Amino acid sequence: MRVRPIGQVEYLPTYQAMQEFTAARAADTPDELWLCEHPPVFTQGLAGRAEHVRDAGAIPVVATNRGGQVTYHGPGQVVAYPLVDLRRAGYFVKEYVYRLEEAVIRTLATFEVTGHRIGGAPGIYVRLDDPFSHAKLQPRLVTPDSIRGPWMAGQARHDSGDARDDAFAGLGKIAALGIKVSRHCTYHGVALNVAMDLEPFGRIDPCGYPGLETVDLSTIGVAVSWQEAAQALGHQLDALLSP
């Protein structure tokens, strides 16, 4: 796999470049991994609903063909775009998603942070009270009832940190993923929050979940540069995704 540290680039031209690369690749085209960050932008997946963007303000909203709903990209976030031929790699989409998540979990482990999966909610989460704890989470599964909060019952939304009895209680999302597979080849990918301005996440329902808290490494007390995090994530993705 060819790893390309690109740095900060605009989102839309990068999205278009991924589409062009995927459409033009042949059976022997080497896989690539693009590591970058974007200026502020909200991106909507194919399942995206307009009501999940509550206040975009001056930040552009870009419709995409990836899976999932709305997320935010901005400076201080490592965005990894693996361009992988799954047929040649020898595994299917479900395994690919597992490997993306595993790469994030292993990356976090290099910084002594424990990442967690939640069934039905792709991405990686950390304990807000103790992100360095190695204790496993009790099994959680996201269902419509498990994400129900007071704002979903016709009452006012609470943004003051009120306790919530749902699948995300006590957790913060530190990495989001959304992919597209065309002719057995992947694009889009995974975003790891390193040291960001997290305020724009408060203008959306991240990944379609009202009230889901979003965190970064800086917020949980890990001081690491974008370059260090990108190198660590790139190394793990290269190891886990290469045939």
Q: How far apart are CA 67 and CA 180, in angstroms?
A: 6
Can you read off the two tokens belonging to residue 11?
Answer: 């989102």
Contacts of 215 (CB under 8 A, 6+ apart): 126, 128, 172, 173, 174, 193, 198
Q: Which of 121, 124, 207, 233 is catalytic?
A: 207
CA-to-CA dists, residue 229 to 78, 91, 104, 175, angstroms: 7, 26, 10, 12
Can you read off the two tokens belonging to residue 208?
Answer: 């379609």
**Beta pairing class for 2-8 and 32-37:** parallel
The 3-state secondary structure of 5-37 reads EEEECCHHHHHHHHHHHHHHCCCCCCCEEEEEE
Question: Is residue 222 predicted with pLDDT exceeding 50?
Answer: yes
Nearest alpha carbon to residue 193 among 212, 217, 224: 217
Considering the chain, what is the average pLDDT of its residues? 89
Cβ atoms of residues 199 and 30 within 8 Å: no
Can you read off the two tokens belonging to residue 104?
Answer: 């994030």
Q: How far apart are CA 194 and CA 228, in angstroms?
A: 10
- pLDDT tens figures, 143-201: 654 444 333 333 333 333 333 447 888 999 999 999 999 999 999 999 999 999 999 99
Question: Is residue 217 predicted with pLDDT exceeding 90?
Answer: yes
Q: What average pLDDT does range 7-26 have in this prediction?
A: 97
Element at 230 (helix H, strand E): helix 226-241
Q: How confident is the model at residue 134 (pLDDT cuts 50, 70, 90)?
A: confident
From 43-47, 56-60, 93-97, the region with the lowest mean pLDDT:
43-47
- pLDDT tens figures, 88-110: 999 999 999 999 999 999 999 99
Q: Is 185 a catalytic residue?
A: no
Give the pLDDT of residue 142. 78
Question: Is residue 60 predicted with pLDDT exceeding 90?
Answer: yes
Give the pLDDT of residue 153. 30
